[in-house]
Chains A and B, each alone.
Chain A
Amino acid sequence: MTEFTLYTFLAASLGLIAIGIGGVILSRNLFRIVLALSIAEAGGNLLLVLIGFRHDAIAPIIEPGRALTTMVDSIPQAMVLTSIVIGAGVQALALALAIRARASYGTLDMGIMRARMEADINRVAGAESAASLHAPASSSTLLTERKA
């Protein structure tokens, strides 16, 4: 275990975080966004464990009869232990939200879902939906009532 391995793990964790965040930003499918979030979380946990690592240390287990030597930092490990379980909870919540969103809007595609959501909001608000971003509905009833 040399210094090279540490940099390899650092590249792994940073790469996992980058891939995860990139997937969250760039994906259109809601299910794939949840997957990318899970990957980013794994990379962040790996980075946290890597912070407390020493290449000349042993695992933080104290045995009777063994002389105390240098151990890796166990505080980030305990925190990461919590973070893994919380990550599973967050993933379950995100999947539940995805299931509810698909039940409401009938699709997992973010673009289609956004269009249907805006149409829903406009219908409830009584405003006519904008034709496009460049030609917005200028005579929205909400705005005219507010002015009057």
Chain B
Amino acid sequence: MSWADLIVLLMVVLVLATAFATLFLRNLLGAAVATTLVSLAVSVFYVILRAPDVALTEAAVGAGLSGLLLALAAKRLGLWHIEVQEAGLDERGDDPC
């Protein structure tokens, strides 16, 4: 096991932790950012797996365009809160947008 293996292992653990954070973050805007971060890290994995074209597309579409879509949808859905959202806030969005 070399240094490269250890770095890859560390990155994989961080990516899985980020994916878990998507499911358990109270702040849904933060969850969207975590999803975008997972896409960005997976694009680095594609570079290591010698697929540079896929890495380019994943970084541009998966991280860039998809993150933009998520941010705009979060704004439309009334989830644009920087501070930590409490448990009742999901029901707080009762006003029609």
Question: Which A residues are closer than 8 A to B by beta carbons?
Answer: 1-2, 4-5, 8-9, 11-12, 15-16, 19-20, 22-23, 26-29, 31-32, 34-36, 38-39, 42, 45-46, 49-50, 53, 57-61, 72, 77, 80-81, 84-85, 87-88, 91-92, 95, 98-99, 102-103, 106-109, 112
Nearest-Cβ distance from residue A123 to partner chain B, whole angstroms = 18
Nearest-Cβ distance from residue B68 to partner chain A, whole angstroms = 10
Q: Do B97 and A12 touch across chains, with their CB atoms under 8 A apart?
A: no
Bound-state CA distance A95–B35 (Å) is 14
Q: Do B23 and A23 touch across chains, with their CB atoms under 8 A apart?
A: yes
Nearest-Cβ distance from residue B37 to partner chain A, whole angstroms = 11
Main secondary structure of the interface of B (DSSP, over half): helix
Question: What are 22 A-to-B residue pairs whose CB atoms are below 8 Å?
Answer: A9-B8, A9-B49, A11-B12, A12-B16, A16-B15, A16-B16, A19-B19, A19-B20, A22-B23, A31-B31, A31-B79, A35-B70, A39-B19, A39-B38, A42-B39, A45-B42, A53-B50, A81-B57, A84-B61, A95-B70, A106-B95, A106-B96
